[in-house]
């Protein structure tokens, strides 16, 4: 059979810092049948100029969000396989070839995702190292069939995209989990740890906590949607494990109760911390091995903070789900998609 053409679709918004490394990694792929489509989503930095240094099809749009940029990239591409890649990730040279092999070996697979390397693309300190190590670990932990399509680093046949439909452009967060739920209802989604990219993650704690909270609150609606049948997301696929979240929530409740009921509050906090440590013992061992014993207390503390943020967000989402019909229907409608004429302009270097 003729090898399929792969369209690598790269949405970009003000990532001049990493775009060159991202594009260099795509150009260096061992799979030869690749076209590159960069959708610049209204950048105000040097990103468009950097993209023009490479053999890419550059599509420039007004800022519409990552879902809109990916949909625009699909419309601007010709490949039989769509490989989605964020502009802050640099691929290993064999990533595209492995994705093609997986998709060609089993027609039931509608999407294959990759994992992040354990080393950041650009090392900006301890917070980023924690986030990169955790991202590497939990994706490896969930390797195999999943119910989320991680568009930051993943591939799918164009026929699967056409069958399921475009990404929901009203979503600037959680779009991958929502799309995975739609896709999993009609096809298989795999996470393959052989497909690897090195990621430049956030390096400020406030940014990490804010993003985690903002993303976690609406996901309560999606995870609670019983109408999705076998396409319903699984809590076991999440980055922050439910038992660990429950344990940290018990710690917070115990600390809040301790001034009034010291013995009961302290016991609850200790029990919750024990549940957190027991559930995350594999991660804690990995962090100690990867970062060293001296860094472990700080990384464990960062992970506890992120897990606590997830618990608070889940509680807020549960309250909103109980009190708001529109929140319960957040993911229930047809995907919002702008008109196909959204591109402001395109240039090609094919």
Give me the torsion for CA of 279, 281, 282, 285, rounded to 10°: 160
Residue-level pLDDT, tens digit, the chain, 350 residues: 789 999 999 999 999 999 999 999 999 999 999 999 999 999 999 999 999 999 999 999 999 999 999 999 999 999 999 999 999 999 999 999 999 999 999 999 999 999 999 999 999 999 999 999 999 999 999 999 998 899 999 999 999 999 999 999 988 888 988 898 889 888 999 999 999 999 999 999 999 999 999 999 999 998 888 666 556 677 777 899 999 999 999 999 999 999 999 999 999 999 999 999 999 999 999 999 999 999 999 999 999 999 999 999 999 999 999 999 999 888 877 788 875 544 555 655 55
User: Has residue 262 been placed in a domain?
Assistant: no
Total-model pTM: 0.92
**pLDDT score for 341:** 46
User: Has residue 146 been placed in a domain?
Assistant: yes
For CA atoms 149, 151, 154, 155, the dihedral sign is: positive
User: Has residue 183 been placed in a domain?
Assistant: yes
Q: Rounded to 5 degrees, what are φ and ψ at 61? A: -135, 165
Rounded distance between C-alpha atoms, residue 111 and residue 8, angstroms: 14
Q: Cβ distance 15 to 27 under 8 Å?
A: no
337-340: long-range pairs with CB below 8 Å, 24+: 337/68, 337/71, 337/166, 337/168, 337/169, 338/64, 338/68, 338/71, 338/169, 340/75
User: Has residue 238 been placed in a domain?
Assistant: no
User: What's the token pair of residue 67?
Assistant: 């879902």
User: Has residue 16 been placed in a domain?
Assistant: yes
**pLDDT score for 208:** 96
**pLDDT score for 348:** 58
**pLDDT score for 36:** 98
Beta bridge partners of 157: 81
Q: Cβ distance 201 to 132 under 8 Å?
A: yes
**pLDDT score for 107:** 92
Beta bridge partners of 38: 10, 58
Q: Cβ distance 183 to 108 under 8 Å?
A: no
Residue 21 Cα distances to 18, 121, 198, 203, angstroms? 5, 9, 10, 18
**pLDDT score for 349:** 55
Q: Cβ distance 182 to 160 under 8 Å?
A: no
**pLDDT score for 332:** 77
Q: Cβ distance 136 to 117 under 8 Å?
A: yes
**Helical residues (DSSP H) of the chain, grouped into ranges:** 16-27, 47-51, 66-75, 95-105, 126-141, 158-164, 175-184, 205-223, 242-257, 262-279, 281-291, 296-323, 325-328
User: Has residue 72 been placed in a domain?
Assistant: yes
**pLDDT score for 344:** 53
Question: Which CATH number is 192's domain given?
Answer: 3.90.550.10
Burial of 239 (0-12, 13-18, 19+ CB in 10 A): middle
Tally of domains in the chain: 1
The CB density around residue 59, as the number of other CB atoms within 10 Å, is 26
Rounded distance between C-alpha atoms, residue 20 and residue 26, angstroms: 10
Domain that holds residue 168: 6-202+335-342
Beta bridge partners of 39: 11, 59
Rounded distance between C-alpha atoms, residue 184 and residue 45, angstroms: 37
User: Has residue 296 been placed in a domain?
Assistant: no
């Amino acid at each position: 059979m003729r090898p399929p053409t792969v369209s690598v679709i790269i949405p970009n918004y003000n990532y001049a810092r990493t775009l060159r490394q991202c594009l260099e990694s795509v150009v260096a792929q061992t799979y030869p049948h690749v076209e590159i489509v960069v959708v610049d989503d209204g950048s105000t930095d040097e990103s468009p100029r950097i993209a023009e240094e490479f053999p890419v099809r550059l599509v420039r749009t007004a800022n519409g969000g990552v879902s809109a940029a990916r949909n625009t990239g699909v419309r601007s591409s010709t490949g039989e396989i769509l490989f989605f890649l964020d502009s802050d990730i640099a691929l290993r040279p064999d990533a595209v070839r492995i994705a093609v092999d997986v998709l060609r070996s089993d027609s039931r697979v509608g999407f294959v995702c990759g994992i992040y390397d354990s080393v950041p693309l650009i090392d900006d300190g301890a917070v980023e190292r924690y986030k990169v190590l955790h991202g590497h670990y939990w994706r490896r932990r969930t390797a195999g069939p999943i119910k989320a399509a991680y568009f930051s680093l993943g591939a799918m046949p164009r026929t699967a995209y056409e069958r399921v439909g475009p990404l929901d452009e009203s979503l600037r967060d959680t779009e991958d989990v929502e799309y995975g739920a739609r896709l999993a209802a009609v096809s298989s989604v795999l996470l393959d740890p052989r497909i690897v990219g090195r990621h430049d993650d956030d390096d400020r704690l406030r940014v990490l906590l804010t993003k985690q909270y903002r993303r976690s609150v609406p996901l309560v609606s999606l995870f609670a949607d019983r109408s999705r049948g076998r396409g319903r997301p699984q809590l076991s696929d999440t980055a922050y494990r439910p038992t660990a979240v429950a344990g940290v929530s018990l710690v917070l409740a115990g600390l809040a109760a301790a001034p009034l009921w010291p013995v009961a509050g302290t016991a609850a906090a200790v029990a919750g911390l024990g549940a957190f440590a027991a559930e995350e013992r594999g991660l804690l061992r990995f962090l100690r091995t990867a970062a060293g014993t001296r860094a472990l207390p700080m990384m464990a503390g960062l992970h506890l903070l992120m897990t606590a943020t997830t618990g608070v967000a889940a509680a807020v989402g549960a309250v909103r789900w109980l009190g708001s019909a529109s929140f319960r229907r957040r993911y229930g409608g047809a995907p919002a998609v702008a008109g196909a004429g959204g591109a402001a302009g395109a240039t090609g270097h094919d």
